[in-house]
Amino acid sequence: MPSEERLQRYADLALRVGLNLQEGQPLVLSGSAESRPLLRALARGAYRMGARAVVVDLHDPVLGRIGLEEVREAYLDEVPDWFVQARVHAVDAGAALLSLADEDPFLLRGVDPARLARRMQAAARVRRPYLERVGAHKVNWLALGAATPAWARAVFPELDPEEATERLWEAIFGTVRLDLPDPEAAWRDHVAGLEARAAALNRARFAALIFEGPGTELRVGLAERHVWKSAVAQAQNGVRFVPNLPTEEVFTAPDPERVEGVVTSTRPLNVAGTLVEGIRVVFADGRAVEVEAERGREALAAVLETDAAAVRLGEVALVETPNPVFDTGRLFLNTLYDENASSHLAFGRAYPDTLGIREGDDAALTAAGGNASTVHLDWMVGSPEVDVWGERADGTRVPLMKQGRWVNAAR
Ligand code: ZN
Ligand code: ZN
């Protein structure tokens, strides 16, 4: 376990540069029981920053798995909304939200996929009023990593549990630049760089992006109304915040009907406990018409069968490599980290704000040319061997990334 002082430093950084908790703002913290030391540091930091109240939602992921396995068939599609209502109420009362990403990536390994799918759909239905508020940035919120023994075991299977947990904490701290002399200044700088990059891409108004690398020759048409977004978000309560720590990406909405060519994944992907490796997808008219994987294809195929739009893209993100997440050389088996290791694509749903509209209106999302699927699955396609071009409407190409690095300074 990191020292109390180091945990406090991490908590304070997250509350300041991530969540940007305001004087007098209530806070809802959530995480697993194993993350108590960090939750305590966050509560302490929050009160010192002037939090009005800190409410902690402590859960045990294993209990969730027990419910999934044991509940009778007849009740499988019923998920009570009591707890969701409490969250909705908190958001409507102006509370900031901080959720820890600390789960065991293999928690659901071996669970009957049909039961899992039904349960997840039921949970998604019940959680919708809450997720819509979060997606629409009604309040400032943050997803933050916390090393737990079960997660660490999955990331460092070769180490003994205690050492693995220690190593995972160090990796997490590295990704947020915690050990730089002034991590807060480093973050302000980093975030400003990402914002400048997104602004430059918005000025360029490319019609498409071209990816070229080993096993990849892909044209991703961009939605006509696409907006490039970066790490920074503006909540409806007026607070500017950075919803993910770490964050290395700028991202936008592809045109779900204009993606052509072949693309090969550059990193494995954890899909509900199954490791999917060596993904190769052929796109025609925006549809994934051939989907292969060296390992774990069924898990990927199951996601793509969720609805008709799941086989089309909803996000394209550019991430410079190397970067502090990539540099760890590890697969975290958690999207918060792995998607920030390299450029990525997502099957399924688009972020409405990448089309200039607010979360919660699927008809508007579709009308704006975005993907309104219910799933969103990120997979990594960038590396120091992949080049990216921007293509204008007249077909001329501008180099954006060479061997994983931005070609021009954004500022
Ligand atoms: Zn992304
Ligand atoms: Zn994504």
pLDDT at 204 > cutoff 80: yes
- Do 193 and 127 have their domain in common? no
Q: How far is the CA of 315 from the centre of ligand 1 (A)?
A: 7
- Do 58 and 115 have their domain in common? yes
Q: How far is the CA of 88 from the centre of ligand 2 (A)?
A: 24
- Do 202 and 141 have their domain in common? no
Indicate the length of the chain as a whole number: 411
**Amino acid type, 314:** G
Ligand sitting nearest the alpha carbon of 229? 1
Q: How far is the CA of 233 from the centre of ligand 2 (A)?
A: 15
Q: How many CB atoms lie within 10 A of CB 58?
A: 13
Q: How far is the CA of 247 from the centre of ligand 2 (A)?
A: 12
- Do 162 and 190 have their domain in common? no
- Do 73 and 189 have their domain in common? no
- Do 237 and 287 have their domain in common? yes
Q: How far is the CA of 328 from the centre of ligand 2 (A)?
A: 21
Report the pLDDT value the prediction gives residue 30, as an integer from 0 to 100: 97
Q: How far is the CA of 325 from the centre of ligand 1 (A)?
A: 14
Report which of 11, 23, 45, 40 is spatially closest to residue 94, judged by C-alpha positions: 23
Neighbours of ion ligand 2 (CB under 5 A): 315, 346, 378
pTM here?
A: 0.92
Ligand sitting nearest the alpha carbon of 378? 2
From 144, 175, 206, give the residue that closes a domain: 175
- Do 222 and 287 have their domain in common? yes
411 pLDDT band, cuts 50/70/90, is low
- Do 262 and 394 have their domain in common? yes
Q: How far is the CA of 237 from the centre of ligand 1 (A)?
A: 24
CATH of the domain at 133: 3.40.1830.10
320 pLDDT band, cuts 50/70/90, is very high
Q: pLDDT tens for residues 39-56?
A: 999 999 999 999 999 999
Q: How far is the CA of 249 from the centre of ligand 2 (A)?
A: 10
End-to-end C-alpha distance for the chain, whole angstroms:
40
Q: pLDDT tens for residues 286-306?
A: 999 999 999 999 999 999 998
- Do 334 and 303 have their domain in common? yes
- Do 215 and 347 have their domain in common? yes
Q: How far is the CA of 327 from the centre of ligand 1 (A)?
A: 18
Q: How far is the CA of 194 from the centre of ligand 1 (A)?
A: 13
Q: How far is the CA of 13 from the centre of ligand 1 (A)?
A: 22
Ligand sitting nearest the alpha carbon of 317? 1
Q: How far is the CA of 348 from the centre of ligand 2 (A)?
A: 9
Q: How far is the CA of 89 from the centre of ligand 2 (A)?
A: 27
- Do 163 and 188 have their domain in common? no
Q: How far is the CA of 376 from the centre of ligand 1 (A)?
A: 10
Report the pLDDT value the prediction gives residue 231, as an integer from 0 to 100: 84
Q: How far is the CA of 349 from the centre of ligand 2 (A)?
A: 9
- Do 170 and 187 have their domain in common? no
Q: How far is the CA of 170 from the centre of ligand 2 (A)?
A: 25
From 175, 207, 231, give the residue that closes a domain: 175
Give percent of the chain above pLDDT 90: 89
- For residue 134, what are the domain limits? 4-175
From 140, 175, 210, give the residue that closes a domain: 175
Number of domains into which the chain is organized: 2
